[in-house]
Amino acid sequence: MLELLSTNLPLLVGFIFILGLLCGSFFNVVIHRLPIILNREWRATASEILTDAKCQVSCPVDELPEKYNLVAPRSKCPKCQHEIGALENIPVVSWLVLGGKCKGCKTKISVRYPFIELLTAIIFAICAYYFGFNWSLAFALLFVSYLICGSMIDYDHKILPDQLTLPLVWFGLFAALFISKPIPSFAPNIESAVIGALAGYLVLWSIYWLFKIVTGKEGMGHGDFKLLAAIGAFVGYQLLPLVIILSTVTGAILGIAAMVISKQGRDHKIPFGPFLSIAGFITFIWGKAISDQYLQLFSL
């Protein structure tokens, strides 16, 4: 089977597409549960600190079961508590068969769930097409998996958890050591990856402090620094300017569109993580081609 996948690109792309559907289903769980798990841990830590300091602690009652993680308990309908069976959890297909409604109480199920499953499958398939059957594909799938989960959590809660961003930095540095070509037609060595991680963090860190000094407000979260550091580790410092330009342009366009549609003012907070993730993925796959086209256009 492995030999067949390594010699048949269409079969590999199809297999990875199906794998993406399955992973996308799990990513929906991660996106929903990880912030809840972290919130529970933060409240427990805060309670211990305040108790040790002999302060009165008043926290809301935690209605979650004692065992609550990414795999247990099984998913349930939040309204009727109907436990979702295996046949109701087939990526995309189950949502279509059920008509986008809970089997128990007929409450509408958000289209976002099959969207993330399908999006993950498409992104996985693109990676399989560009990388082929090798270790580069494994690191690519790992990279985009973190981008998908992190960007959606940032979209929902305006946070980029260290549990996602920091391991991704180390995976990027390890990829530069482990394989010769982390991205197509471009081979950032460990020096380029380290500089990319440092520059990615320091660029946004500097912008954050400059904006805060000038306006007295925080323009972005610290998680954005770490995410760009991770992206810099994967693409190298040479392509980091492209990531910054793409994320800024997409952020400005989509941010303005969101404000117009939602009729909210400029003070409305828009997470930057999704735009960094979009720019990071584009650069990861097509960055060298875009850079070459730019240089050729201006005869540089």
Per-residue pLDDT at 118? 97
- Mean pLDDT rounded to a whole number for the chain: 86
pLDDT at 61: 47
pTM score: 0.89
- Render pLDDT for 179-237 as a digit per residue (tens, 0 to 9): 755 444 445 688 899 999 999 999 999 999 998 899 888 878 899 999 999 999 999 99
Statement: residue 60 has pLDDT above 70: no
CA dist., res. 97 & res. 244, Å (int)? 42
Statement: residue 88 has pLDDT above 50: yes
List, in sequence order, every residue forming a beta bridge with 183; answer none if it has no partner. 186
Residue 169, CB half-sphere, CA atoms under 13 Å: how many?
A: 20
Quick one: tokens of 179? Answer: 């394989």
Between CA 123 and CA 125 the distance in angstroms is 5
| Band (19; pLDDT cuts 50, 70, 90) | very high
The four Cα atoms 231, 32, 19, 254 give a dihedral, to 10 degrees, of -50
Q: Half-sphere exposure (CA, 13 Å, Cβ side) for 112?
A: 10
The string of pLDDT tens digits covering residues 116-164 is 999 999 999 999 999 999 888 999 999 999 999 999 999 999 999 999 9
Segment holding 280, helix H or strand E: helix 273-297
